Amino acid sequence: MAKTISIAIDGPAGAGKSTIARRLAKDLGYYYVDTGAIYRTVAYFFDLWGVSPKDADAVRRYIDELTVGIEYDEEGVQHMIMNGMDVTGDIRTQDIAQKASLVSAYPEVREVLLDMQRNIARKHNVIMDGRDIGTVVLPKATVKIFLTASPEVRAQRRTKELQAKGQKANYDQILKEIQQRDYQDTHRDIAPLKMARDSVKVDTSELDIDGVVAAIREIVNQKVAP
Ligand code: DC
């Protein structure tokens, strides 16, 4: 099998990873793999069961009851399948994001999801975004990007994004949640959010989407012939 190309995009919540990765994947004809959606699906599963993400015993006991699937529709949109049910729309709330951050700290949870992520990258050219893609999931990724922005800019963007979807959004509350999630995601023992030594940092605070896509295209073109 021909060797596949993988572009890892890591960074904190709200840095613009999914918007940028989706655009790049479309431009390049690669699969876009949103790994945050996988952890959100796990969080949603425990939420439905009424299990607190802080209840380590219950998380460990019930994780084997969960089957997570990823499917792509004809437009290339990633769908999350939880025990046979499409939960793609259900996982996009601040509450589930927060619970995903907690549940993703358990080694037992991360372990069962690792092969699934690696298998996609083995079969297809991918742009994969998350927290530990360049450090743990695909340490040999062709290109590694660390996308970041100030917490205030990220909170502003997230507020607008939720409002555009008709969801309630309060900037101060979202900023607090982002800071809390940053703390949890960077301080956990296993696969914490951190920049891989060989990744390129792109700060998106002062850039619009086109600017970020252009900057990353340049980095990608240096490693992968266009
Ligand atoms: O990218 P996101 O906001 O949808 O991610 C939700 C949470 O999932 C995030 O706060 C931490 C966790 N996550 C992770 O631990 N590892 C990843 N590769 C992606 C997400």
**Smallest CA separation from ligand 1 atom 15, residue:** 104
Q: Which residues contact 135 (CB under 8 A, 6 or more apart)?
A: 10, 191, 194, 196
* Ligand 1 pocket, mutate which of 42, 68, 104 (most atoms under 8 A from CB): 104
- The CATH number fitting domain 6-223, selected from 3.40.190.80, 3.90.1150.10, 3.40.50.300, 3.40.630.30: 3.40.50.300
Mean pLDDT confidence for 4-12: 97
* Ligand 1 pocket, mutate which of 17, 39, 138, 181 (most atoms under 8 A from CB): 39
- d(CA 162, CA 48) in angstroms, rounded, equals 22
Task: Say what the pLDDT of residue 70 is.
Answer: 96
User: Residue 25: phi, psi to the nearest 5?
Assistant: -60, -40
Distance 16 CA to ligand 1 centre (A): 13
**How many helices and strands, by DSSP H and E, does the chain display?**
8, 8
- What pTM does this model have? 0.94
Which amino acid is present at 44?
Answer: Y
Residue 198 has pLDDT above 80, yes or no: yes
**Smallest CA separation from ligand 1 atom 9, residue:** 101
Task: Indicate which atom in ligand 1 lies nearest the CA of residue 105.
Answer: 15
**Smallest CA separation from ligand 1 atom 13, residue:** 36
pLDDT, the chain, mean: 95
Task: Write the pLDDT tens digit of every residue in 73-86.
Answer: 998 899 999 999 99
The two beta strands, 126-130 and 6-10, are parallel
- DSSP letter for each residue of 112-180: HHHHHHHHHHHHS-EEEEESSIIIII-TT-SEEEEEE--HHHHHHHHHHHHHHTT----HHHHHHHHHH
Task: Say what the pLDDT of residue 94 is.
Answer: 87
- d(CA 4, CA 97) in angstroms, rounded, equals 30
Task: Say what the pLDDT of residue 226 is.
Answer: 67
Mean pLDDT confidence for 177-192: 96
Cβ atoms of residues 193 and 131 within 8 Å:
yes
**Smallest CA separation from ligand 1 atom 11, residue:** 101
**Smallest CA separation from ligand 1 atom 4, residue:** 36
Is the shortest distance between the CB of 132 and ligand 1 below 6 Å?
yes
Task: Say what the pLDDT of residue 1 is.
Answer: 56
Q: Find tokens 């699906």 and name the residue.
A: 41
Task: Write the pLDDT tens digit of every residue in 33-63.
Answer: 999 999 999 999 999 999 999 999 999 999 9
Cβ atoms of residues 104 and 110 within 8 Å:
yes
Distance 56 CA to ligand 1 centre (A): 18
- d(CA 63, CA 136) in angstroms, rounded, equals 21
Task: Write the pLDDT tens digit of every residue in 12-38.
Answer: 999 999 999 999 999 999 999 999 999
Q: Find tokens 């437009």 and name the residue.
A: 75
Residue 2 has pLDDT above 80, yes or no: no
Task: Write the pLDDT tens digit of every residue in 152-183.
Answer: 999 999 899 889 988 888 999 999 999 999 99
